[in-house]
A = this chain, B = another copy of it.
Amino acid sequence: MMTAEQMLIDDAARIEARLDFLTRHIDNDYPTLHESIRYSLLSGGKRIRPFLALAFCRMFDGDEAVAMDLGCALEMIHTYSLIHDDLPCMDDDDLRRGKPTNHVVFGEATATLSGDALLTEAFSVASSDAIPNALIPHAIRILSKAAGADGMIGGQMIDMRGETERLEFDTLLSMHAKKTGALIRAACLLGCLSAGITSQDDIRYQAAVTYADRIGLAFQVIDDRLDAIGDTDAIGKPVGSDAESGKTTFLTFMNVDQAYDYARDLTQLAVDAIAPFSNKEPLCALAEYLLDREK
């Protein structure tokens, strides 16, 4: 059997090819926009969100082509959020995955518009002829709820507050549930959707929510831990930046060992949630891989 890392790499290549195809039409009149969008979108990355959509699709016998495109729509939303987060008026980051950030290469105006375009095109992809009409309303609702003011953007607002004031633990949880958790949950629900699962009463839907919320939170706990003890070259940004900036993180409330134990418990809860299903192995392996990753 393939390791989780091999599976991720295998799917990431297919996801990259599809993202390339879906953004090829943006061209001619405004080559800079085309280049800027693709510079950030096709820059590697683990593609965890599309992978989750595909893995839930496979576990529940869904339509893989649908899961792929909905997963790509989500990856476009994820990428737009990174471009805007890196802007000077936001986190003012010059490096992302070891490369200069979008605005450093293309300027702030084009970076702003590229983010706007990626968010808009995500909805175009999710409403294309490749997605059955009956699924489109559900897909758009999942995407817009996860990315909007009550999801990712709301989390970003709390995160901004956390840079100047200390957050309570519950607020930190809420921030992560919205800022990154919402898109991870959306990924799993879009995988369910590709198998026609839309009811909140369906045990498969509930398992997807539980799995997503647990690995989403574990991912953030490990992120904070890596920021404190990871290898700068491996994670592609300076170690200790959170502590230096006085930002509230999980390490404000626990030490690095406690953080690992917390993430391990969450990972176990995620694995338990999908225990009843056959073909769950890739999702179990992913959860373990995310727990023990070094970047």
Contacts and interface: CB of A to CB of B under 8 A. Distances in A.
Q: How many A residues touch the partner, as a band?
A: 35 or more
A140 B154 contact: no
Interface stretch (A57-65, A111-119, A212-220): A111-119
A84 to B, nearest CB: 6
A183 to B, nearest CB: 12
B136 A123 contact: no
A110 to B, nearest CB: 8
A154 B33 contact: yes
Contacts of A89: 87-89, 107-109, 112
A136 B89 CA distance: 35
Given A90-B109, A90-B112, A144-B121, A33 B149 contact: yes
Q: How many copies does the complex hold?
A: 2
Contacts of A161: 30
Contact of A157 (B33, B126, B137, B153): B33
A127 interface: yes
Interface in A121-157: 121, 123-124, 126-128, 133-134, 136-137, 140-141, 143-145, 147-150, 153-154, 156-157
Contacts of A143: 123
Contacts of A107: 89
A115 B156 CA distance: 13
Interface in A94-108: 107-108
Contacts of A29: 154, 157-158, 174
A127 B135 CA distance: 12
A268 interface: no
Nearest to A122: B144
Interface string A214-249: 000000000000000000000000000000000000
A43 to B, nearest CB: 18
A115 B121 CA distance: 16
A37 B157 CA distance: 13
A34 B80 CA distance: 21
A160 interface: yes
Given A124-B144, A124-B148, A133-B137, 8 more contacts: A33-B149, A33-B153, A87-B89, A119-B119, A121-B148, A124-B145, A127-B141, A137-B137
17 contacts: A26-B150, A33-B153, A33-B157, A80-B116, A87-B89, A89-B108, A109-B160, A113-B153, A115-B116, A116-B116, A116-B153, A117-B149, A123-B123, A124-B141, A124-B144, A127-B137, A136-B140
